[in-house]
Homo-oligomer: A and B are copies of this chain.
Amino acid sequence: MPTGELHYTTPPKAAATTNNSAVVGASDEGWLWSQIKAEARRDAESEPALASYLYSTILSHSSLERSLSFHLGNKLCSSTLLSTLLYDLFLNAFATDPSLSSAAVADLRAARERDPACISYSHCLLNYKGFLACQAHRVAHLLWRQARQPLALALHSRVADVFAVDIHPAARIGKGVLFDHATGVVVGETAVIGNNVSILHHVTLGGTGKVGGDRHPKIGDGVLIGAGATILGNIKIGEGAKIGAGSVVLIDVPPRTTAVGNPARLVGGKEKPSQLEDVPGESMDHTSFISEWSDYII
C-alpha cells in the first residue's frame, strides 16, 4: 500500500473526499483522461509546433497509464537505462497495482485545484516535475515492496538526476499530494506523507544520523509545508498543520497548528497555539501567519 499510514481520530475534510476512491476511481479516471485528451487536442490545433510532442506523449495513447509510462520512460531514460526498458517497467507496474492510477488521478486533481498556475490537467501531466517525480516514486516504491531494491534504487537515482527530486523508494506517500515546483525536495527512507499534503520546493524530510531504523518525519493528512522547510527526525507533523517557509523543525507539531522560524516555534505559543480553521494542504495559504509573526520583527 503506497499510501501513508498515519491515521487520526478526526480526519480532515480532504481525506474524506477520497474516502470511497475505490468505487469512483475508474470512472473518475475516464473523465480525467478524456479531459486531458481534449486539452491536448485543442493545444495541438492552436500550436502546430507542439503537436508532435502532444501526439507522442498524450494523443497517441489509449489511457492515462500508457501516456504516463511513455512520458516517464522517455524522460528518465539514459544511455545505460533504455526508454524501452523503463516503459515496460512502468506499464507493468500500472497493470500490477491499480492504486497507482488512482493516486495519479488524485495528484493531478490536487495540482489543478491548488496551484493557480496550473492551467490544465495536461499541463501538469506533461510539465510538472513534482507530479512526474511522484508518480515515478510510486513505481519505485512498488518495486521496493516487491523486494526489488536494486531496480527501485536505480529508478530513484534517475528521478534524482532528471528532476532534482530525491524521494527514497521506501518512503510512503499518500494520494492527492502536490509537490509544487519540487526542485530540491528530499524525502528520507522512513518518512511517511499522508493524503492531501502540499509540499513546496526545497523541502527536506530528513533523518537524524547514521543509525538506521525509523528516523524520518511523519507528515499527517492535509499538511502544508512551505518552501525550503527542513523537518528532521522521527517526529510528527499533525494533520492539518502548517510549516512556514524556511522553517527548521525538530520537534512534533500538533494538528492544525502553524510552526515557523529557525528553529521553528508554534504560532500562538507552545502552550496554546493558534488553531487553523481550514486545511492548509488544500487552501495553500502560505502567509496568513504574517500578522502574528511580524510581531517578532524588530
- Quick one: CB contact mask for A198-221 with B, threshold 8 Å, 1 for yes? 001110101111111101000000
Bound CA–CA A163/B230 (angstroms): 21
Q: Tell whether, in the assembled complex, residue A206 and residue B263 are in contact, meaning their CB atoms are under 8 Å apart.
A: no
For A284, give the chain B residue with the smallest CB separation.
Answer: B210
Q: Tell whether, in the assembled complex, residue A290 and residue B43 are in contact, meaning their CB atoms are under 8 Å apart.
A: no
Give the segment of A12-20, A97-105, A182-190 that binds chain B: A182-190
Q: Tell whether, in the assembled complex, residue B113 and residue A127 are in contact, meaning their CB atoms are under 8 Å apart.
A: no
For A245, give the chain B residue with the smallest CB separation.
Answer: B230
A164 close to B (CB within 8 Å): yes
Bound CA–CA A127/B46 (angstroms): 27
Q: Tell whether, in the assembled complex, residue A263 and residue B261 are in contact, meaning their CB atoms are under 8 Å apart.
A: yes
Name A293's contact: one of B44, B233, B250 (CB within 8 Å): B250
Q: Tell whether, in the assembled complex, residue A59 and residue B51 are in contact, meaning their CB atoms are under 8 Å apart.
A: yes
- Quick one: CB contact mask for A135-164 with B, threshold 8 Å, 1 for yes? 000000000000011110110110011111
Which of the four size classes fits the interface of chain A?
A: 35 or more
Bound CA–CA A263/B163 (angstroms): 29
Q: Tell whether, in the assembled complex, residue B163 and residue A161 are in contact, meaning their CB atoms are under 8 Å apart.
A: yes
Distance in Å from the Cβ of A262 to the closest Cβ of chain B?
5
With a cutoff of 8 Å between Cβ atoms, the chain B residues found around residue A47 in the complex are 148, 150-151
Q: 20 more A-B contacts (CB under 8 A) besides A116-B211, A209-B284, A263-B297?
A: A52-B52, A52-B56, A52-B85, A73-B84, A74-B82, A116-B189, A123-B150, A127-B154, A183-B183, A207-B286, A209-B283, A209-B287, A226-B232, A228-B228, A228-B246, A232-B245, A246-B246, A246-B248, A247-B262, A250-B287
